[in-house]
Structures are given as structure tokens and as C-alpha cells.
Amino acid sequence: MSIFPQGAYGAYGAYGAYGAYGAYSATGAYGAYGAYGKYGAPPESPVLANALISTHDGISGVQLQDLGGVLPGAPNNTKNLPRLSAGVRAAIYQAELGPTVDVTYASECGNPTAVLWRQAVDPADHQILRRDPMVIMSPPDIEQFKKQMTLISNYAQIRPDREAEILTQIEVPMPFYAAIVFIDPARTPYTLELLNAALAFASNAYQRIKYTLAVKRPIELSPQIQPMIPTPTHGALPSGHATEAFIIARLLWKLLLQSNTPQYEDTAHWGEMLMRLASRIATNRTVAGVHYPVDSVAGALLGLTLAQHVYSMCRGGNWWSTSFHGTRFDPHEDFNWHQLYNADGDKMKPFAQSPCEVWMTGEEVKVNAGVAPSPVLSWLWSRALKEWKDIRSKTA
């Protein structure tokens, strides 16, 4: 079901929640060699190697003495990026994004809390790292999770309806986004590269938070859930699928909004549809029996927040600091993304509450003076954005 060619993106499924973690560098390497396929034989082919040796021996002659004028490479220059393979670029994006966050653990009254820090080198002194909390996340208590089991149990009745979706969304569900906005490897290669980078980045972040919070999966609370797909070994909250679904949705929506293309700017239809899709992907994991609805709440919040962070790293500008207090979440409530975000204007909500208690807060934070966006990521964003601009004839 992948829309990606096997060269650069073939191992896409290796990211994050979808498969073998940490295989990212391997993916990059694979992508680097993928282009050789067009010459008819893989690079490690002994036949080709022998042929290259014999060709060399046959035609190279005596070593030339005068190599002519050669200039040194342009250091730290984004003009190099188009000449790199997609996999190599992907590694560079991670080198840019990865150090911008860190996760720490704290305990409040026995309830674990994960803090995802946004960090940046102080422009005045490169030896100083400035950190600000970007996401503060604590899970509901075990009694709340027990109550959420009822929702999972009842959601199971629509498993037959959702079976195809659930199975095809185990891996990155890009075809579903491609059904809403016109994504295609030939048409939007840099958009895919951007999303790819964001997913790999988000994966590291949520896996670290999941590890920190160590929330047990539904299958560990009851033998009757019987998930219809294997339960991943990592913790439940926040949902990785929700995080990734919402980071993709919001970054795509930001691209559309900035594209200066009328149909994307005039209404929020595309944004709303992208978020509805993200919500459905997240909910499908509850239907499958591997997530509590509240996992999707936390995951969506994380994904939306990280999307803003990635954007800020690409283009500069403000970021959002959010918090999720699981113990204040009404366990009888379902996941409702409208409580977190409004696609119209691409706005996060400042708070969300159950009848009595505020369980989510969010505020916009100004970026520190002197902290510039990453030139590499900025380059990537510009490339991606061009893919969404209308092509207009001169006479128009």
C-alpha cells in the first residue's frame, strides 16, 4: 500500500511506531544506494565490480600529472543538499532536529511526569544550552485507565467495519493523506521528505516519553480485550499513531496555508479534513484494542505541539508550550480533537477541561532573540512549499 518507490523511501515503515526502531541510519544508507538501481545492477554486484576493474585497467593509462583548477567544497552550505541522496539528507535533518529536544522524568506524588524540553544553544555563548518546557505530560492513574477499558471494550463492536483501515494503518498511513491532498513521490518529493523527517523526529520524542511514563497497555489490564493486531511492546500513552497522524496533518495544513493557492487559503476545509483523518487513524487504534482513548488525546496534543516546533525550526517564529494532566481527565470521556485545536486559523486551544478540571493548557511562546531557524530545515521547507504553489500561466 506504499506510494513510495523502493529507492529512497522503501524502508519508510522502519520508522517510529511502525517497525524496527533505530533503523533510521540503515534506511538512509539504503536510500543512498537506491539510485544505482537504474544502472541495471546493484552496487555490490561482483560482476559489475570486476567489470569496473577491468575497464579501469584497460583505459586509465598513466596517472595524469596536472588535475587543473579544483576549488574546495562549500562548507555548511545548503546548496549541497540537492546533490545529496534523500537518505543522507534525512540523516542531516535528524542531526538538526534531534538535539532541539530532550526528555526528563519527574514524579509528583507518585505520579510520573515526562517533560519534553525545547533546547537551543544560546546565541551569545555556544557552550550554554537554554531549555524551556515544551510538553509536560502526566498520565491518568490506573483507576482511570480501568474506566477507559469500558470504552475500548465497546469500541470493539466496530472492528469488522474498521478492519481494512486498521491493518493498512499499521504502517505509515500516507496513502490516506494522499487521498485528501495531492501527495505523490513524483509531484511532492520534498513534502514527503519533510514529513519523513518530522515522523522520525516525533518517533524519538514519543518513544522517550512512553518509556518515561510506562503506561500499561489494555491487554495488560484485561484478558478480554483481545486486540485484533499485535500490541506493540512500548507503553500506551501517548499514542504514537496519534502523535504521528497529527504532526503530519498539521504540517501539511501549514504548507497548504502558506502556498498562496486560493482553494487552500479561502476555507479551512482541507485542514479540517486532515484533522478528521488524523482523528480517525488515532481512534482506529482504540477500535483495534491497543490504545485507550486518552492515549489519543495525549498523542494528538504532542503531535500538534511538535508540528509547531518543527515549523518553528524551519521558518522561525513562535512555538507552543503545552501540558497534559491525565489525572484531571474524565475517564468516561472519549477522544475529541476539537478540544485541542481549530483548523480554521491553525490555532491551538489555550485549555481543555472536563466538567470541573482543566486537563490541558497551552500557550504560545516567543522564540528567544537571536535564535535563528535551521538553514537546512528552512531549505527543506522552502522546497516543500514550492510543491504546493499554484502553477499559473503568464497571461492569467
Partner 1 sequence: MHSWTTEHSASASTLLDHVTDYRLRLSERQSRVEAKKFWWSVLIELEGVSIDAFAASVTRFDDHLMIPVEYDREDRARKRALQPVTIYARQPLIDSLNQIDNPYHVVSVHLGAITPKETLAFDATPALMDDIVVEPDTVVMAIVDYGIAIAHNLFRRKLMKTRIEHFTSFESEAVEGGHSSVGRALEREEIDRYLVSQTYNQLLDEDMFYQVTGQIDWTSGRGSAVAHEVSHGTHVMGLAAGHAMELGCKNRPIICASLPTWLVADTTGPGMLPCLNLAFHILTKQGRRFRFRNGGYAPVIFNFSFGDTSGPHDGTGIFTRLFEHYFAVDGVREREDQSSWLTLPCGNQNLDRLHAVAGLEPHTRIDLSVLPDDRTPTLVQLWLPNEENGVSSTSADVEVTTPSGQRAAITSLPGQSAALVNDEGIEIGRLACQYEGQATKRILFNLVINPTTHGVDEAPYAPAGTWKIEVRVSNPGEDQMINLWVQRSESLPGIRTGARQAWLNNENYVRYDRFGVPLAVDPKNSECPVKRAGSISGFACGETPIVVAAYSRREAEISLYSAAGPLAERRQPPYVNRLGPDLAAKGDDSYVRRGVLSAGSRSGSLVRLSGTSVAAPQVARAAAKSIKTWDGSARSWAAGAVKHDPFPLRGEKDPTRAGAGGLKTGRYFSRTRSKH
**Where on the chain is the footprint of partner 1 (CB under 8 A)?**
150-151, 153-155, 157-158, 160-161, 267-269, 271-273, 276, 279, 283, 293, 332, 334, 336, 338, 342-344
CB of 161 vs partner 1, minimal distance in Å? 5
Query: Shortest Cβ distance from residue 240 to partner 1 (Å)?
Result: 22
Full 3-state SS string of the chain: CCCCCCCCCCCHHHCHHHCCCCCHHHHHHHHHHHHHHHHCCCCCCHHHHHHHHHHHHHHCCCCCCCCCCCCCCCCCCHHHHHHCCHHHHHHHHHHHHHHHEEEEEEEECCEEEEEEEEEEEECCEEEEEEEEEEEEEECCCHHHHHHHHHHHHHHHHHHHHHHHHHHHCCCCCHHHHHCCCCCCCCCCHHHHHHHHHHHHHHHHHHHHHHHHHCCCCHHHHCCCCCCCCCCCCCCCCCCHHHHHHHHHHHHHHHHHHHCCCHHHHHCCHHHHHHHHHHHHHHHHHHHHCCCCHHHHHHHHHHHHHHHHHHHHHHHCCCEEEEEEEHHHCCCCCCCCHHHCEECCCCEECCEEECCCCEEEEEEEECCCCCCCCCHHHHHHHHHHHHCCCCCCCCCC
Judged by beta carbon, residue 25 or residue 267, the one nearer partner 1 is 267
Query: How far apart are CB 325 and partner 1 at their closest, in Å?
Result: 21
Least separation in angstroms between CB 226 and partner 1: 13
Q: Name the residue nearer to partner 1 (CB basis): 342 or 354.
A: 342
Residue 102 or 334: the one with the smaller Cβ distance to partner 1 is: 334
Q: Shortest gap between Cβ of 174 and partner 1 (angstroms)?
A: 22
Nearer to partner 1, 102 or 272 (CB): 272
If the CB atoms of residues 55 and 336 are measured against partner 1, the closer one turns out to be 336
